[in-house]
Amino acid sequence: MSKAGKIPESLPDPRVSIVLATFNERDNIVDTIRSIFEHLGDSVEIIVVDDDSPDETWHLVEDLQNPRVKLIRRVGTRGLASAFNRGILESRGAVVGWMDADMCMPPVMLPGMIGLLETYDVVVGSRYVPGGKDDRVWLRVLASRAINRLATLVLGYGIRDYDSGFVVVRRGVFDRVSLIPTGYGAYFMEFLYNCRRKGLTVHEVPYTFRDRQKGISKSAPSLWRFFSTGLQYVARIFIARFRHKD
């Protein structure tokens, strides 16, 4: 493991920490980091957790030499949920957020989402509330909508985009709910469900999710992986529900 961009002690603690989990995102990572800084300025630290990408995404992050960008390069360990969890554990901001690093989730949304934390504990970027849009190929949209409708039915609480993965939270949320660091995107459904079970407020804001313009999707590089991932999501919905029968 190596780290780059260690934040000097002379810099004040950031107000916001944004975690990016990466694997083979060299085509997108620099644009994503620059866009986050463009919209959040000096109030943010960015933590990139890279699973030793063969395309050397981690090397591009190192080359930025930005004291507000922290790199965690994991060698021998992989997994989206565990990468986000590692970044959250090492974050310092009063607000913690995480999102994809492929520019499908617009950083321009972050200031407004963070502002809503004055009222809510958790704010989620949502494709499926009124005003939101999922602008991917029809098969992926159909599958995602079906999974989210099942999650809404089984888990309840009226959440429309249970597997969004685009979120900002108050740090105090982690005093009551832990992120279970297993699986791909399905971890997020259990996280939101547990937040609501604990009485925390969750608010969804609409945004347009656009399909990646560069690189290859990690969830659907093949039809087999696409359907396998979908089955994992369905299983996680019922595991989350019946893990807590109260």
- Give the CATH number, domain containing residue 42: 3.90.550.10
| 69: in domain | yes
Q: What are phi and psi of 156, to 5 degrees?
A: 80, -160
Closest CA to 113 of 102, 105, 125, 100: 125
Mean pLDDT of 203-211: 93
| 10: in domain | no
- Residue 150, phi-psi category: left (phi > 0), alpha (psi -120 to 50), beta (remainder): alpha
**Which helix (H) or strand (E) is 57 found in, with range?**
helix 57-64
* Beta pairing partners, 16: 44, 95
| 4: in domain | no
Q: 129 or 5: which carries more pLDDT confidence?
A: 129
Mean pLDDT, all residues of the chain:
89
- Measured CA to CA in angstroms, residue 21 lies from 35, 69, 77, 142 at distances of 16, 13, 12, 25
Per-residue pLDDT at 185: 79
| 35: in domain | yes
| 237: in domain | yes
| 8: in domain | no
Structural domain including 20 reads 16-243
What is the tally of structural domains in the chain?
A: 1
Per-residue pLDDT at 2: 41
How far is 241 from 243, CA to CA, in rounded Å?
6
Per-residue pLDDT at 1: 40
Per-residue pLDDT at 139: 86
